[in-house]
């Protein structure tokens, strides 16, 4: 692979927050000049150009080759456990590895949680000599990853200690977090600089960890901290990540599709809701069944819950919904409506001006996967259409 070593690459892995970190880290680097390759759940992009490349080992290598031909200097790569298990990190060691967190997900693709963690760890075992491991110092799994990280690598820890006590000294941390419908503010400290207030356009306390990860990665790649802060403060949130589609009632579309993601999204909605929170969600078919009941349990934080289909594929949507309902348990506001379009429309129509409606699970996705193929269905576009009628 002749392009190896000519591109400075950073890999981002973990369960939640990867796409946001990739986009913000790439934005910080592009502000320094030149196009940056970024690969994520929302697509593969070289600067403003969307590349027709698949999110597979072959597709990633093709994108990297095309980035080098375009004289790009940096590649920011979202690395799933499946890509890492397939040996991508051995084929393409990264100069910087970023770890967000580890929570319950993808156990359909791995035999057990330990195997899931081991796959994520491959990024750090295979870092380029003298590289940097950027780790969430408030996530217990990151401590295990630190133990297997390439011995010549520098370790940088970030975190929010008011959420979870750190397992090591933090190089970059946030405090005094406040959230509004205009965005998120926090006080940034560390990296040998004075404290400063940071304002994000993203809405939700969970985005603070994403910002810290992106800032730490940017500094590791040579971007001055002040410049990175300014860029990330103005950077948009990825589509379908606590995306506010309408106000009064407040309608939010979010990609949360596992228990931890759902908990954090509902925490953000609850903190902003003047009155009640309605949740519309389901779970994917032919994917990790063990997370369905925990997702139901997480949903209990909402006042009203519409359990519906997600991407059922060739699995019975009702069977999936009933597994989720078992996790919800006794809750006065639960309704089963398997037609996702109907569930979304009803949730919005029945909401008061001060309510928050969270439509979770599919985020940016524009097609729904069913037993007999896929159909056009964008939660964002559907919600907008309902409000326009």
Mean pLDDT split into 10-residue runs, the chain, 389 residues: 66 96 98 94 93 83 92 95 92 96 61 80 94 97 93 96 93 97 97 90 97 98 96 95 97 96 96 94 94 97 98 97 98 97 98 97 97 97 95
275 in Cβ contact with 354 (< 8 Å): yes
HEC profile of 214-262: HHHHHHHCCCCHHHHHHHHHHCCCCCCCCEEEECCCEEEEECCCCHHHH
Alpha helices in the chain (DSSP H): 18-30, 57-69, 81-85, 88-91, 113-125, 140-148, 206-220, 225-234, 259-272, 292-299, 317-328, 340-349, 379-388
pLDDT at residue 112, as a whole number? 59
CA–CA separation, 304 vs 300, rounded Å?
9
Query: What count of other Cβ atoms lies within 10 Å of the Cβ of residue 148?
Result: 14
243-388 CATH pick, 2.170.190.11, 3.50.50.60, 3.90.190.20, 3.30.390.50: 3.90.190.20
Amino acid 193: pLDDT: 80
Q: What is the dihedral of CA 2, 20, 213, 116, to 10 degrees?
A: -70
Instruction: Identify the sign of the CA torsion 195, 200, 204, 209.
Output: negative
Q: Which CATH class is domain 8-234?
A: alpha beta
Rounded Cα distance, 329 and 305, in Å: 12
How many angstroms separate the CA atoms of 309 and 339, rounded?
7
Backbone angles phi, psi at 186, to 5 degrees: -160, 165
Q: What are the tokens at 356?
A: 């928050």
Q: How far apart are CA 231 and CA 222, in angstroms?
A: 14
Q: For residue 42, give the DSSP letter.
A: T
Query: Domain coordinates of the chain in residue numbers?
Result: 8-234, 243-388
Q: 10 Å Cβ neighbour count for 120? A: 27
What does pTM read for this prediction?
0.95
Q: Are 44 and 27 in contact (CB under 8 A)?
A: no
Within 13 Å, how many C-alpha atoms sit on residue 283's CB side? 30
Query: What pLDDT does 111 receive?
Result: 56
CA dihedral 265, 270, 275, 280 (to 10 degrees): 20
Rounded CA gap, 166 and 138, in Å?
4
């Amino acid at each position: 692979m002749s392009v190896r070593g000519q591109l400075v690459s950073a890999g981002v892995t973990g369960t939640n927050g990867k796409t946001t970190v990739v986009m913000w880290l790439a934005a910080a680097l592009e502000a320094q000049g030149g196009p940056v390759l970024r690969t994520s759940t929302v697509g593969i992009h070289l600067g403003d150009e969307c590349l027709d490349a698949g999110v597979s080992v072959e597709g990633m290598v093709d994108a990297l080759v095309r980035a080098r031909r375009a004289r790009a200097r940096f590649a920011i790569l979202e690395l799933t456990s499946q890509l890492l298990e397939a040996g991508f990190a051995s084929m393409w060691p990264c100069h910087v590895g970023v770890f967000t967190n580890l929570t319950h997900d993808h156990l359909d693709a791995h035999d057990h949680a330990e195997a899931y963690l081991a796959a994520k760890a491959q990024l750090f075992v295979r870092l380029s000599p003298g590289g940097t491991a950027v780790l969430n110092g408030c996530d217990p799994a990151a401590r295990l990853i630190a133990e297997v990280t390439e011995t010549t690598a520098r370790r940088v820890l970030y975190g929010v200690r008011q959420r979870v006590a750190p397992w090591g000294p933090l190089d970059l941390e946030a405090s005094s977090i406040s959230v509004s419908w205009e965005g998120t503010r926090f006080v940034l400290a560390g990296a040998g600089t004075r404290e400063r207030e940071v304002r994000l356009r993203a809405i939700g306390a969970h985005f603070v960890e994403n910002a810290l990860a992106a800032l730490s990665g940017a500094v590791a790649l040579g971007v001055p901290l002040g410049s990175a802060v300014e860029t990330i403060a103005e950077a948009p949130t990825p589509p379908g990540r606590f995306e506010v589609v309408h106000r009064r009632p407040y309608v939010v579309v979010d990609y949360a599709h596992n228990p931890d993601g759902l908990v954090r999204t509902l925490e953000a909605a609850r903190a902003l809701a003047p009155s009640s929170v309605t949740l519309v969600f389901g779970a994917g078919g032919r994917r990790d069944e063990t997370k369905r009941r925990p997702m139901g349990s997480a949903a209990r934080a909402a006042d009203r819950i519409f359990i519906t289909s997600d991407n059922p594929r060739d699995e019975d949507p009702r069977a999936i919904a009933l597994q989720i309902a078992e996790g919800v348990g006794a809750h006065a506001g639960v309704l089963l409506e398997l037609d996702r379009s109907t569930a979304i429309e009803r949730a919005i129509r029945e909401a008061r001006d001060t309510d928050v409606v969270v439509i979770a699970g599919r985020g940016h996705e524009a097609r729904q996967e069913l037993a007999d193929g896929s159909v056009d269905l964008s939660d964002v576009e559907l919600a907008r259409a309902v409000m326009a009628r």
